[in-house]
Amino acid sequence: ARHCAALALVALGEPRRAAERLEAIAAASLAGRPARAAVYAQAAQAWLVSGDSNRAFAATTLALTLTPEDADLLMDRALALATLGRYGEAVGDLDRALQLEPTRAEAYVFRAAAWRHMDRADAARRDVERALAISPDNAEALLERGILRQLAGDTEGARMDWERAVDLAPNSATADLAIQNLALSEAGPSRR
C-alpha cells in the first residue's frame, strides 16, 4: 500500500515526495534484490522528473549494487549522468548495457548523443547508424542523426531526418525537438 501511495504522488505532481518515499521503501524492504532494485529504479525516475539528477544517479547506483547486470538500470544511470554533464561516465554505463544487450537501439542513440556532447562526431555517427540498422523507424535515432547531419553542414539530410521523426512519433517530445530544430534550420544561421 505504501508503494502504491508513493507512485500515486508522481501522478499527483509530487515526484520529490514520491522519490523520497520510494527510496525509504526500498531501503527498509525485506524483498529480494530484484524487487528492491526495481523500487530504487522507480525512485530514480521520480528524481529525474523532479529535476534532481544527483539523487537519480544515487538511486540508480543503489539499484545497480543489487542487480549489476541490468541493462535498463545502466541506461537510467547513463541518462542521469548525461543530465549532469558527465558524458564519459554515461558512455561507460552504455558500453556495459550494450555488452549485456547488443541490439538495444536506444542505448546506441543515447551513446551517440553522449559522443556528440564530447565532440566525438565520428563515434556518434557510427552509433546512430547502428541504432538505425537495428530499428530503421526509431524516431530518436533520426532526431540524433539529423542533429549530426546539421552539425556536418548537411541541412537537407537533417531536414529529412527530422521530418521523418515527426511523422513516426507525432505527439512526442522527440517530435517537439525535431520541430524546433526544423524551425531553427529554416530561420537560417543569423537567427539561431
pLDDT digit string, tens, across residues 173-184? 999 999 999 999
Indicate the pLDDT class of residue 70, thresholds 50, 70 and 90: very high
Roughly what angle, to the nearest 10 degrees, separates helices 105-117 and 71-83?
A: 20
pLDDT score, position 22: 92
For the chain, percent of residues with pLDDT exceeding 70: 98
Average pLDDT over residues 74-83: 96
Residues 86, 129 within the same domain: no
Q: For 98-133, how does the pLDDT look when each residue is reduced to its tens digit (9 = 90+)?
A: 999 999 999 999 999 999 999 999 999 999 999 999
Lookup result for grid cell 522527440 = 174
The domain boundary residue, chosen from 82, 101, 120 = 101
The predicted pLDDT at position 9 comes to 82
pLDDT tens digits for range 35-69: 999 999 999 999 999 999 999 999 999 999 999 99
Residues 87 and 167 in one domain: no
Which range of residues forms the domain containing residue 123?
103-192
Query: N- to C-terminal Cα distance for the chain?
Result: 50
- Count the domains in the chain: 2
Same domain (yes/no): 81, 115: no
pLDDT confidence band for 189 (50 / 70 / 90): low
Q: Is the pLDDT of residue 192 over 80?
A: no
Do 80 and 1 reside in the same domain of the chain?
yes
Q: Do residue 89 and residue 175 come from a single domain?
A: no
With contact defined as beta carbons under 8 Å apart, do 78 and 87 qualify?
A: no
Query: Could you tell me if 96 and 113 lie in one domain?
Result: no
Q: Are residues 91 and 148 in the same domain?
A: no
> Among 74, 101, 128, where does a domain finish?
101
Based on the domain organization, do 6 and 93 belong to the same domain? yes
